[in-house]
Structure 1
């Protein structure tokens, strides 16, 4: 009820657009830190004119910091929890869970939830910035990266195969192992399916519409998918915002295997459809009928 009241008070009368959701960013950017380390949370969102007041919440309870910047000096276990913020013209942000650890080694990430195609940086961080070497990164207890000196590793484009529990191990005075971190990668859109407007096989001469059908699973502002169509080694249409392609007059030589691709504008996600076999049959020539005429 308190949150709802705040929203009603802060959204200006007569506003027609939906309020913007505030966003929390961290500096340094890691959602897990050691005890006694410093971390700053920033709340980004629109404000009322002349009023930069910001509401902060920890585990659903408001606390008395009213600036867009909230600094935690010498973090303690009690600082662990879910943080939200709200500016004068925003709705509350999504929660950011900050975890404070007392350990020797920590696997740090910038988020625990990613959308496929986004980069994922893993940092194997030693207590009090102690040097860590011979670092091994693990996914679901299986080693996938060894680094003798560099304690950071970046997966440039995440995919669904990157879901799992990650941890790291490294040498200091001894070999240490970090606690596990659960990483979730969400699918942005389904792999496309190529469909034809007519049942197959079909007779030549018909117009055929091919459609590259997919479904957005997550809403992202400004997202635009691009579609390409192929047959054999031939590109029929490349990177078009239209998900359809027309064969105006089908011929027997149009028979073959067809497929399509759907991709994001930056090319970070490319998904290919299964192949569709298009069969075009030639028009049948009428069989001549012979009539026997009897003359008397």
Structure 2
């Protein structure tokens, strides 16, 4: 019985917390730092109680105290009796003139990030530059820390520093080794979901829940939630992660989204859109996004043109083609070959009429040209009969015999 209770107690125990003092993962050669293991230490009746175990890599160290001093580079872990092994701390030892020191513990979103560029055994660094991914982020005249008050995921990257030392005169610019800094995610981006509840509880409306998850090491961090309808807030930040849409607003298509944030608003994340299909709405999302059909009026095939309902032209402004033509026009039109036209098609009466009108207009133009030519020939004949010498002289050609048509007895002979 007691053994079972002990096993359950050990299964629910948390990892011990391993800390570093001072809190920098890189030190100069010859320096020493202190490691401390804080966790559950059971009271066991033993002659030589062993409360803490220390590991350097896979090597078990001889010390069993809660804190030890080390100067050897490597990965350190600790373990209290019966508890899991702690998270590791990687300690680096450098022999360079400049080292870039970053915190040993994980830095989460919204927390302060401090980076330190340190000269050999605390010598002052002049003309100090801090770099991130090869770009200059900050410049100082002398030694100073680079601080980001509220770190974000975008602050992760490769950091480096450069500067000069006076040993004893000012040296050329020196560069530290690059250090990787990773900003941990405090909580995941929220997702807005519909919660299915009995109508007696929800009052007939739709209940929405803003769901997210905190990092295991930060599961005690309080979060607040806000809900929005399009860009208008329907409930501002408070501790509730659920919002009930009133029944009067569920009849139409509506889009909602939520936002999760820390109490200090140092970290804020929003969810994707959630579109609600209303109960009384006859349309759906698919019907809204479906493209409208192409109207028949823009079809390229002239045969399939729709019927035109435009007002017919005024007969006074357009010459009538049904007036009685003269006999010459009638004979000309009768002698012209007929142009074949397509057979009648359904719902295309105006198309056949347009083609017939176009053919008749072409015949009329041809007939008018022939009439103009005939008129000119008749005028020339009359002029030659009246004054033949004048007409021949204007032409500039030798005179030719003219037949005696009996018009005038005084016409000279050639």
TM-score range, shorter chain: 0.7 to 0.9
Structure 1 residue runs of 5 or longer lacking an equivalent are 1-8, 199-204, 285-296
What TM-score comes out, normalization by structure 1 length? 0.76
1:230 to 214, 228, 231: 228
**Post-superposition offset of 1:138:** 0.9
Contact kept? 2:252, 2:281, Cα under 8 Å? no
Secondary structure of the 2:9 match is coil
* Larger fraction in strand: 1
Matched with 1:26 is: 20
Aligned length in residues: 264
Alpha-carbon distance between aligned partners in 2 of 1:18 and 1:275, rounded to the nearest angstrom: 39
Match of 1:262 in 2: 260
**Structure 1 residue 143 and structure 2 residue 139: aligned?**
no
- In 2: Cα distance, 1:14 partner to 1:282 partner: 54
- Which of 41, 53, 61 does residue 47 from structure 1 map onto? 41
Candidates 79, 90, 101, aligned match of 1:86: 79
Distance 2:127 2:255 in 1: 49
CA distance in 2, matches of 1:43, 1:237: 45
Q: Which has the higher contact order (CA 8 A, sep 6+)?
A: 1
Q: Corresponding residue for 2:187?
A: 189
Q: CA deviation at 1:219?
A: 5.4
For residues 174 and 14 of structure 2, the distance between their equivalents in structure 1, rounded to whole angstroms, comes to: 43
Contact persistence 2:164–2:174 (CA under 8 A): yes
Q: Which moved more, 1:122-131 or 1:63-72?
A: 63-72
Is this contact kept in 1: 2:251–2:281, CA < 8 A? no
SS at match of 1:246: strand
Matches within 5 A, 1:87-236: 87-111=80-104, 113-172=106-165, 173-174=170-171, 175-195=173-193, 207-216=205-214, 218=216, 220-231=218-229, 234-236=232-234
Give the Cα separation in 1 of the matches to 2:93 and 2:6.
38
Say if 1:187 and 1:218, in contact at 8 Å, map to a contact too. Answer: no
Aligned-pair RMSD on alpha carbons? 3.3
Q: TM-score, normalised by structure 2?
A: 0.56
Unaligned runs of at least 5 residues, structure 2: 197-202, 283-414
- Rg (Cα) greater in structure: 2
In structure 2, relative to structure 1, the CA distance for the partners of 1:254 and 1:106 (3 Å cut) is: farther
Counterpart-to-counterpart distance in 1, 2:142 and 2:79: 41
Q: What is the CA distance between 1:104 and its match in structure 2?
A: 0.4
